[in-house]
Chains A and B, each alone.
Chain A
Amino acid sequence: MKAILGQKLGMTQIFDDEARAISVTVVKAGPVRVVQVKTIERDGYNAIQISFGEMKPGKANKPEAGHYAKAGVAPGTHLVEVKVEDPSEYQVGQEIKVAEVFKPGTRADVSGVSKGKGFSGVMKRHNFKGLPASHGTQKKHRAPGSIGACATPARVFKGMRMAGRMGGEKVTTLSLEVVGVDEERGLLLLGGSVPGPKGSIVLVREAVKARG
């Protein structure tokens, strides 16, 4: 599986060949450095560890500094592991640029940490319908309604969908079109929206559903 780390820069609009306006999210993707290559013989599975960003000198703690020193690459701010089919394609210390991973017209899955929404009610958090706007409803327009029966079971079941903290969790958007790749600036243009605020780190992977 091909993958790259990037920073979400924001959204804009461009025009395609057929003069249609398309919304795109611009991601500054890569370059990432291969820090470790895991093989099925040694580690039980095939994967690569890639690092993105540059850590300030002296900021790396001893385990991190040692891990990066072993690979001979500069310490990065983000480190992720991605499963690959053939680890022999990668060498430790190799730098991967966005144009090597994605081509325009292909599809990609994007994972990021969604924007925090704070303590949210059930209509926003779980898409409940709420109660009627009229016909005698009082002060309960956005309420969840019943959350269970009475003396049996005499408790509320675990996992009952209620109000609470929303957002700030890992979200993956599937099969976004790769609209463009700017090799020079290392930019990736993805059709549609991507989880998270501007400036957040996103993992862009080859689309799971478009493979094979």
Chain B
Amino acid sequence: MNDLQAVESAHVRDDIPEFRAGDNVKVNVRVMEGGRERIQAFEGMVIARNGTGTRASFTVRKLSFGVGVERVFPVHAPIIKSIEVLRRGDVRRSKLYFLRDRVGRSARIKELRD
């Protein structure tokens, strides 16, 4: 391990489950409201993972009242309380940006069978 990785290792969380593009996840986010903390969930499909180390991030896409909403989270951010993997998707590419142009049946991703 070099010195740069050593600096990062202190901020890399080991309680984050393994997940990849195509998976459906529920991200529990800590939200501060008037000095009080509450948990807000953001549930959707991971369409991309980017970066390594503490700079790693992932993009979650969901449909909210028929409108596509995407949110980018840093994987190791302290504002993330937990990530739950709800469903594993069977995809053959790492970035699922083509889903942005699709709705309904064509936007479905097969579930991964072991």
Contacts and interface: CB of A to CB of B under 8 A. Distances in A.
Contacts, number: 43
Interface stretch (B16-24, B73-81, B92-100): B73-81
A14 B79 CA distance: 13
Interface in A131-164: none
- Chain B: number of interface residues, binned into ranges: 10 to 19
Interface stretch (B2-10, B40-48, B58-66, B106-114): B2-10
Contacts of A189: 7
Contacts of A19: 30, 77-79
A122 B8 CA distance: 39
Contacts of B6: 182, 185, 187
Interface stretch (A5-13, A48-56, A95-103): A5-13
A19 B4 CA distance: 20
B68 interface: no
Contacts of B4: 9-10, 12, 26
A193 to B, nearest CB: 15
Select the residue from B3, B76, B77 with max chain A CB neighbours within 10 A: B3
Interface residues of A, number: 16
Nearest to A180: B7
A15 B8 contact: no
A15 B76 contact: yes
B56 to A, nearest CB: 10
B54 A15 contact: yes
B71 interface: no
Contacts of A205: none
Nearest to B11: A14
A177 to B, nearest CB: 16
A28 interface: yes
Given A19-B79, A28-B3, 19 more contacts: A9-B2, A9-B3, A9-B4, A10-B4, A12-B7, A12-B8, A12-B53, A12-B54, A13-B55, A14-B8, A15-B77, A21-B74, A21-B77, A26-B7, A180-B7, A182-B6, A185-B6, A187-B6, A187-B7
